[in-house]
Amino acid sequence: MDQTEQILLQAIQKTLWNNDYIFPDDTDWDAVLQEAERQSVLGVAAAAVPAEKQREWINKTTLFTAHFIRILHCQSALCDLLKANGIPTVILKGTAAAVYYPTPSQRSLGDIDFIVPQDLFDQAEVLLANNGYSVEDDPKYPRHVDVRKDGISFEMHRFFSDRDCRANVDPFIFNGMQHAETGTLYHTAFPMLPPKENGLVLLAHIAHHLREGLGLRQIIDWMLYVDRELDDSAWESSFRTAAEQTGLAVLAITVTEMCRMYLGLSDRITWCKNADKELCTMLMNSLLSSGNFGEKRGTGLKVESTVSRLRRRGFRYLQQAGEHNWNAYHKHRWLKPFAWIYQIGRYARQGFQAKRKGAKIIEDIGRGKKRSDLYQDLKIGEPKE
C-alpha cells in the first residue's frame, strides 16, 4: 500500500467517522484525486480534503451531486410507471446502498439496477418499450436487459445472482420483494428490500466483482450497511444463517474485519473478530490494485480474470464462455460441442491484440492465480453443511 492509497483510506475515514486525522504536508492531492476516481469514491473522500486543496475536487463533486439528483428523478419516474401498472419492483444497490451514507449524494451512481417478478418480466419489457424506454435484450447477458431513457441507463434484472460464483441470493430477493420497504433520499421515495435481503445483495455484489475488479465503493456500501443494520445481535439472530446458506459467510466476516482494520469501522461490531487477518490484508491489497471494476488493471485484468476462472472451473468455464461469446452458436445450436474450442481461439486473438510484453503477461497470470486462491480462501458459494 503506497502513500497515496493510505491517504485515500484516511480521507474516507475522516469523512465517514469524523476522526481527527491530520494529513502530511507533502500529500499529493492530485494523485489522491486520481485514486479516488479510480475507486469511484470521490464523493466520500472529497469532504476530507483541506480547504486550500479543494478547488478541483469541488468542481467534480458539484457535477457528481447534480448527477445523483438526476438519477433519483429518473428512478422515481420508472418506479411510478411500474407501480401504476401493477408490476412490483425494488431497487438493487445504487440508492438502496446510498441510504446508509451520512451524506447520500457522496455515493457514486451509475446504472439504475432494479428487479421485477420473473412472471411479470415480459410484461414489464413491453410496458417500458411503450413508454419511451429503449429495451435491448441480449441473450449473452441473461441476468438482465439494458434499458435507456433520457441518457440514463437502467438494468432490469430477471435474476441477480452470479451463476459463476454459485452464491445464490435470488430466493431471498424474491421473498424480500413481498415485504418491500420504502427508502427515502432528498424527499424522494423508492422501493427497496428489507435490511437482511438488502445486505445479501450488497454482499453478493462484492462476490461478483471480486473476480473482475473489486473496488472501495462496493466495500464502503457493505461497511455502512453493517454499521447501520448488522450489529452482533442482528448477525446472530438472522443474517448469519442466511450468509451460511448462500456461501457468503466467510466473505462477510473477512470484509467486515477488513473494514475494522483499514476503514475505521467501529469496534462494537465484534462478530467478525475471528477473521483471518492475513486474508483481510490480501483482500485489501487486491482491491487497491484493481480499482472499481478493475479500472487500474486495464487490459491486464482480462488475463487475471481468465486465469482465475480457469483455475476454479476448468473446461466447464471454457465451454460456458464459448457458448456466451460465440454468435454463430446462438444461431446454430448444433455447434455447442465446439464452443470451448472457439473460446480458446478467442483468448488467443485477444492476447495478440493486446500487444502486451511477455513479462507483463506473466505478471498478470501471477495475479490471476493469487485472485483464484483468494476466491477459494473466501469459500464463496460454498454453503455450510
73-99 tens-digit pLDDT: 999 999 999 999 999 999 999 999 999
**pLDDT computed for residue 351 by the predictor:** 55
Residue 211: pLDDT above 50? yes
- For range 349-378, the mean pLDDT: 55
pLDDT tier at 368, thresholds 50, 70, 90: very low
In tens, the pLDDT along 101-129 reads 999 999 999 899 999 999 999 999 999 99
**pLDDT computed for residue 356 by the predictor:** 47
**pLDDT computed for residue 315 by the predictor:** 54
CB atoms within 10 A of CB 88: 16
Residue type, 205: H
User: Three cell numbers at 191?
Assistant: 422501493
- For range 243-272, the mean pLDDT: 96
- For range 287-292, the mean pLDDT: 79
- For range 211-236, the mean pLDDT: 93
User: Three cell numbers at 164?
Assistant: 459463476
Rounded to the nearest 5°, which phi and psi values hold at 190?
Answer: -155, 155
**pLDDT computed for residue 267 by the predictor:** 94
- Distances from the Cα of 106 to the Cα of 21, 58, 95, 344, angstroms: 20, 12, 11, 42
Based on its alpha-carbon atoms, the radius of gyration of the chain, rounded to whole angstroms, reads 21
CA 215 to CA 218: how far, in whole Å? 6
**pLDDT computed for residue 316 by the predictor:** 66
**pLDDT computed for residue 202 by the predictor:** 97
CA 291 to CA 270: how far, in whole Å? 28
The reported pTM is 0.81
Mean pLDDT of the chain: 85
**pLDDT computed for residue 225 by the predictor:** 98
In tens, the pLDDT along 338-360 reads 776 777 677 666 654 554 444 44
Residue 156: pLDDT above 70? yes
Which one is predicted more confidently, 217 or 304? 217
Could you give the 3-state DSSP secondary structure of residue 183?
strand
Cβ pair 167, 139 in contact under 8 A: no
Cβ pair 284, 262 in contact under 8 A: yes
Cβ neighbours of residue 51 closer than 8 Å, sequence gap 6 or more: none
In tens, the pLDDT along 29-61 reads 999 999 999 999 999 999 898 888 887 788 888
Cβ neighbours of residue 54 closer than 8 Å, sequence gap 6 or more: 46
**pLDDT computed for residue 370 by the predictor:** 58
CA 19 to CA 48: how far, in whole Å? 10
CA 253 to CA 273: how far, in whole Å? 8
- For range 266-281, the mean pLDDT: 95
Residue 297: pLDDT above 70? no
- Distances from the Cα of 201 to the Cα of 54, 114, 195, 252, 260, angstroms: 34, 12, 10, 12, 21
User: Three cell numbers at 197?
Assistant: 435481503
Q: Quote the percentage of the chain above a pLDDT of 90.
A: 58
Q: Which residue has the cell 473466501?
A: 378
CB atoms within 10 A of CB 101: 19
Q: Which residue has the cell 429495451?
A: 135
pLDDT tier at 11, thresholds 50, 70, 90: very high
User: Three cell numbers at 98?
Assistant: 446510498
- For range 305-328, the mean pLDDT: 63
CA 1 to CA 200: how far, in whole Å? 29
Cβ pair 255, 216 in contact under 8 A: no
**pLDDT computed for residue 360 by the predictor:** 47
Write the burial class of residue 328 (CB in 10 Å: 0-12 exposed, 13-18 middle, 19+ buried): exposed
Total length of the chain:
385
Cβ neighbours of residue 55 closer than 8 Å, sequence gap 6 or more: none
Residue 292: pLDDT above 90? no
**pLDDT computed for residue 318 by the predictor:** 67
**pLDDT computed for residue 63 by the predictor:** 86
**pLDDT computed for residue 61 by the predictor:** 85
**pLDDT computed for residue 314 by the predictor:** 57
